Chain A
Amino acid sequence: MDVLYFAWVRERIGIPREAVETKATTVMDLVDELRGREERYAAAFADITALRVAVDQQLTEFDAPLDGVREVAFFPPMTGG
C-alpha cells in the first residue's frame, strides 16, 4: 500500500510518500512496524495522540482495519480555514 506523510510528519520522516509491503491488519500495527524501522520513524510516531490518520482518504481512528486498503496517510491535526 502507499503510505503518505504530510506537514511536520513528512519533514520528520523525510519523504512525502512510499510504497510499504506489510501484513499489518490495523493502522496501529502499521505504526508499530514503521516505528521499528529507523529513528526518524520512531520520532515521528512517538506520540500518536498528536497525529491523525486517513485510510483511503477518509479520516479514521488508529484501530481501523487495513484489509483491502490502498492508501494510508499520517498527519498532524488539520489547520484549514
Chain B
Amino acid sequence: MRVVVQDTPFDFGAEAAGFAEGRAVSGAVVTFTGIVRDVDGGLQAMEIEHYPGMTEAALTEIADQAVTRWSLEDALVIHRHGRLDVGEMIMMVATAARHRKDAFEAAEFLMDYLKSRAPFWKREITKDGAEWVAARDEDEDALTRW
C-alpha cells in the first residue's frame, strides 16, 4: 500500500502501469483519476490546502480500511496540493483485488472517504477572485452506504 501527498504533478500512466505490473494474485486492477474541471468557463486555477501530517495519517487509515474490507492485494492513493491548472490531475486511486467487484467497490469507498474525511480544502480561482469550495451534502451522505 502506498499513500503519496505532493505538490508536483504525477505521471498517471507510469503510476497505473507500475501498480498493475506483476500482479499474480489479483485479477482486477481499478484506477480512478480526478481532474480539475472548469464547468462555467471561468476557472483559472484550483488551489488545494491541506493539513500536513494529518493528511497522510487520514489517507493511510482510509486505505488500510479498504485493504482489509475488500481483501485487496494492494492500494495506491496519490493526492496533490498547491496550485493546479484546469485539466491537471488532482488525485488518483488504484486498487488490486482478485475480482473486479471488490476492486471497483474499494476504489469507490476510497473516493467517497477521501472527499470528506481527508483534510484537503479546495479553492477556486476565477477572474473575479478566489472562493472556497463548499462541501456538498451528497458527499457526506455518500458515506452512509458503507
Contacts and interface: CB of A to CB of B under 8 A. Distances in A.
B118 A8 contact: no
Interface residues of B, number: 27
B90 interface: yes
Contact of B120 (A4, A59, A80): A80
Interface stretch (B7-15, B17-25, B47-55, B68-76): B47-55
A57 B121 contact: no
A-B pairs with lowest CB-CB distance, top 7: A77-B135, A80-B120, A81-B115, A57-B54, A7-B121, A80-B118, A79-B122
21 contacts: A6-B51, A7-B132, A57-B51, A57-B53, A57-B57, A58-B54, A73-B51, A73-B119, A75-B51, A77-B134, A77-B140, A78-B119, A79-B122, A79-B132, A79-B134, A79-B135, A80-B79, A80-B117, A80-B120, A80-B122, A81-B91
